[in-house]
Chains A and B, each alone.
Chain A
Amino acid sequence: MLFELRDVSLTRGERRVLDSLDAEIEPGATAVVGPSGAGKSTLLRLLNRLADPDAGTIAYRDRPLDSYDPLALRREVSLVPQLPALLPGTVESNLAYAAGLAGKRLGVAECLRHAGLAAEFAARDVSRLSVGERQRAMLARALAQQPGVLLLDEPTSALDSEARDAVEATLRRLRGELDLSLVLVSHDAEQARRLTDRVIRLG
């Protein structure tokens, strides 16, 4: 089992974001779907320990999540947030930063190709990228760490249909080419069906 959640609850302010959630996520591709505010993004944040639940337990590969070093865990279980937030500089410097943190050798062209970006994007300043290109640069940056699991939060939410098709094709290719598990948050049930094998419904 990749992740196992038992009786997981989380409250933020007055709001119960997750309420006694039980879920199992197997290796492969899993979608998390549900209406806005159902706690989909929060669930991803719990899986790479950007936040901890108030109650309940989460296990990763049959070990309690909090028994892992959080920094090492985040390099292994990589989260690509919904809003692209790259560091100032070029695409390549972002990739190099991520690879350096994970102690991995950087293959810029390979990461860009996997994320559906041409090699010349390496030298491009991130401030000059479109939203869709930034989202793919975020994906390339996560791939530079060679993670075992990719957590994707609405990876196509800010994209037009053409860019969305490109990212979806990228994700399908990634599943085929790399030994990578995906957990994908989406509000689009059709997309979840197209890209994943299993669906967890929240809310």
Chain B
Amino acid sequence: MSTSIHLSLAQVAAALALVALAAAISFWRRTDLERDIAVATARSFVQLTAIGYAIELIFEADTIWLVLALLAVMVVFGAFTARGRARAVPGAFWPLLIALTTAAATTLGLVVALGIFDPTARYLVPVGGMVIGNAMTASAVALNRLGDEVSESRAAIEATLALGATAREAAAPFVRRALRSGTITLVDSTKTTGLIFFPGTMVGMLLAGAAPTDAVRLQLVLLYALLGSVAIAALLATGLAYRNFFTAAAQLREPHR
């Protein structure tokens, strides 16, 4: 059924016409994004080409260790990237690293254990990349929100601590809101999927010539896996990172910027 799609570099280059259109809109409306658009285009080309060759090598080698090494690099890089968006949270790197590692391990472990995918590079690399990427975004959004919430609500948190509440009790409403904002985007997009937009995997499979029902089923498996991984990552990142705002004596630390 499946017929592979082959694109030449010239065809990829033709798509640059749309990048030029984006840059022209930016120039015309003075949004000052032309430089960023150019950097994004160049980076996406270099990064995706490099990862394309890396994945090809990993597929050819067909060993689980190389797959795990690639996933580990993605997790570490994801934790660094997410930390950049969580500057107001002290010591955010370790909670993020633990959150992304656990989300990736649990989600991939489950889809393999349930017999949905085989434990081979062809499945684990692309699915792992999606899981880690979405978990990174969700935990970055959640920690960014947590940092804002805590810095805006210092008086309320200290008033609760002053009653003899634990740090966990004083932070609970803000951790809850941060967790919600980390997961809500994916929940909302999952609700509207198929109605307002077609998710990437399904589009890719349809373009590659797969049967629509197969494309839909694979997309559903991935959406459900992503929901799980996003929830795990945001839960762990917020649940571990809030502690860093407090001392061992349940005192709110001075602002961290």
Binding site for B on A (CB under 8 A): 12, 48-52, 66, 70-75, 78-81, 83, 85-88, 97-98, 101-102, 138, 141-142, 145
B163 touching A145 by the CB < 8 A rule?
A: yes
Which of chain B's residues have a CB closer than 8 A to the CB of A66?
Answer: 249
Q: Given the known inter-chain contacts A81-B159, A85-B155, please indicate yes or no for A101 contacting B165, CB distance below 8 A.
A: yes
At the interface, yes or no: B251 with Cβ under 8 Å from chain A? yes
Binding site for A on B (CB under 8 A): 155-156, 158-166, 169, 173, 249-252, 254
Q: Given the known inter-chain contacts A12-B254, A81-B158, please indicate yes or no for A98 contacting B249, CB distance below 8 A.
A: no
Of B162, B169, B173, B251, most buried by chain A (CB within 10 Å of CB) is B162
A182→B81 CA distance, assembly (Å): 50
Which of chain B's residues have a CB closer than 8 A to the CB of A86?
Answer: 159
User: What's the minimum C-beta distance from A162 to chain B, rounded to whole angstroms?
Assistant: 25
> Which listed residue, B162, B173, B254, touches A74 by the CB 8 Å rule?
B162
Q: Given the known inter-chain contacts A12-B254, A85-B156, please indicate yes or no for A74 contacting B249, CB distance below 8 A.
A: no
Which are the 6 A-B pairs with shortest beta-carbon distances?
A85-B159, A75-B164, A74-B164, A79-B162, A85-B156, A70-B249
B251 touching A71 by the CB < 8 A rule?
A: no
A51 touching B162 by the CB < 8 A rule?
A: no
Q: Given the known inter-chain contacts A81-B158, A83-B155, please indicate yes or no for A75 contacting B254, CB distance below 8 A.
A: no
A-B contact pairs, 16 of them (CB 8 A): A66-B249, A71-B164, A71-B165, A71-B166, A74-B164, A75-B164, A78-B162, A81-B159, A81-B162, A83-B155, A83-B159, A85-B156, A85-B158, A87-B173, A101-B165, A142-B163
Which of chain B's residues have a CB closer than 8 A to the CB of A75?
Answer: 163-164
A85→B155 CA distance, assembly (Å): 7
> Which listed residue, B160, B166, B173, B251, touches A49 by the CB 8 Å rule?
B251
Q: Given the known inter-chain contacts A50-B252, A51-B251, A52-B251, please indicate yes or no for A74 contacting B161, CB distance below 8 A.
A: yes
B163 touching A50 by the CB < 8 A rule?
A: no
Which of chain A's residues have a CB closer than 8 A to the CB of B249?
Answer: 49, 52, 66, 70
A50→B156 CA distance, assembly (Å): 13
User: What's the minimum C-beta distance from B253 to chain A, rounded to whole angstroms?
Assistant: 10
> Which listed residue, B155, B164, B252, B254, touches A81 by the CB 8 Å rule?
B155
A70→B161 CA distance, assembly (Å): 10
Which of chain A's residues have a CB closer than 8 A to the CB of B160?
Answer: 85, 87
